[in-house]
C-alpha cells in the first residue's frame, strides 16, 4: 500500500472575544439583536432607496 | 437567548461607492455599532490597518473587530485586501473576521473568496436582516483557523458529516497541531 502524502496542517482556535464584547463576560449560547434596534435599523436602511433611485452607481 | 450590545465593536467598511458606504454606515450605526471606520478602496484600507497598528490614536481605533469590504474596487479590490489581511507579514490581525460584499454571487466567485480566507459572504442588494445574520454568525459561530501549504483562513468545512471510516482524526484543544490564540 502506498504511503499517504504527508500534509502539514495547523489549526488555530481562540477565545470568543467578540461574544464577550457583545454579550458581556461569561456570555453563553447564542444571542440576538434587540427587536427595537432591528426595527430602527430596518427602517433606516429601507429609507435609502426612496432617497436615491436604484440604478445609481453602487446600487 | 441574550440580547447583544455592539457598542464596543469597531467595524471597518471598505467601499468605493459613496452611496453604498453611507448606507452601510447608516445601517451599522442603527445597529448601535460603537465605532465605524471607512475606506474608499483596499489600498486605503491597508494603509489604515498599518496606521492603526503604528499609531492607534491617529487612526482613532485600537483594534478592528470586523471588516466589511466590497469586492469590486479600484485600484486595490476586496480580494487583494483580503489576501493582504490573511497572508501579509504586516497584517495586524490575520484572524480578523472578513465579510465580503458583492453584487456577483456566482458559485465560482464564492469559491474564489472562500479559498482566500473570507469569513462570510454578503450579496447586494442586502436587507438589514442579512447584515445581522452575518454579524451574528461571526459572534456566535466563530470557526477555527486552518493553515496548510496552500490555505490560511477560517475552516472551510461547515457541514458536520458523520465519518464511518477506521482512521478518524479527533481534534481537541490539546492536539499537537492545535494552537490556542489569545487576545
* B181·A17 Cβ contact <8 A: no
pLDDT digits (tens, 9 = 90+) for B71-130: 999 899 999 999 999 999 999 999 999 999 988 878 898 899 999 999 999 888 788 888
Interface check for B54 against chain A (CB to CB < 8 A): the answer is no
Residue B61, phi then psi, degrees to nearest 5: -160, 145
The domains of chain B are located at 10-142
Whether A57 and B17 lie within 8 Å, measured CB to CB: yes
pTM, two decimals, is 0.86
Distance CA B79, CA B70 (A): 9
Nearest chain A CA: its distance from B76 CA (Å): 17
* Pick from B97, B141, B145, B144: nearest CA to B121: B97
ipTM, 2 decimals?
Answer: 0.77
Q: Number of helices (H) and strands (E) in chain A: give both, helices first.
A: 3, 2
pLDDT (tens digit per residue) in A40-49: 888 877 776 6
Phi/psi at A45 (nearest 5 deg)? -75, -35
Residue B98 corresponds to which cell in the numbers above?
A: 472578513
Cross-strand pairs, B35 = B10
Report the topology of domain B10-142.
Answer: Rossmann fold (3.40.50)
Amino acid at each position: 500500500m502506498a504511503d499517504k502524502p504527508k500534509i502539514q496542517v495547523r489549526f488555530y482556535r481562540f477565545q470568543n472575544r467578540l461574544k464577550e464584547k457583545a454579550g458581556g463576560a461569561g456570555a453563553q449560547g447564542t444571542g440576538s439583536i434587540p427587536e427595537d434596534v432591528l426595527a430602527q435599523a430596518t427602517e433606516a436602511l429601507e429609507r435609502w432607496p426612496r432617497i436615491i433611485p436604484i440604478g445609481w452607481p453602487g446600487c | 437567548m441574550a440580547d447583544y450590545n455592539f457598542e464596543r465593536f469597531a467595524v471597518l467598511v471598505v467601499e468605493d461607492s459613496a452611496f453604498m458606504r453611507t448606507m452601510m454606515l447608516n445601517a451599522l450605526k442603527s445597529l448601535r455599532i460603537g465605532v465605524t471606520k471607512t475606506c474608499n478602496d483596499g489600498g486605503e484600507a491597508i494603509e489604515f490597518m498599518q496606521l492603526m497598528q503604528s499609531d492607534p490614536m491617529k487612526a482613532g481605533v485600537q483594534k478592528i473587530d470586523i471588516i466589511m469590504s466590497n469586492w469590486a474596487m479600484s485600484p486595490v479590490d476586496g480580494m487583494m485586501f483580503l489576501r493582504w489581511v490573511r497572508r501579509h507579514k504586516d497584517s495586524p490581525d490575520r484572524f480578523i473576521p472578513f465579510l465580503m460584499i458583492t453584487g456577483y454571487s456566482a458559485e465560482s466567485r464564492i469559491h474564489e473568496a472562500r479559498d482566500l480566507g473570507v469569513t462570510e459572504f454578503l450579496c447586494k442588494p442586502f436587507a438589514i436582516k442579512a447584515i445581522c445574520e452575518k454579524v451574528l454568525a461571526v459572534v456566535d459561530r466563530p470557526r477555527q483557523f486552518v493553515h496548510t501549504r496552500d490555505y490560511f483562513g477560517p475552516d472551510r468545512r461547515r457541514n458536520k458529516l458523520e465519518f464511518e471510516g477506521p482512521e478518524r482524526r479527533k481534534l481537541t484543544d490539546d492536539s499537537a497541531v492545535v494552537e490556542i490564540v489569545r487576545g
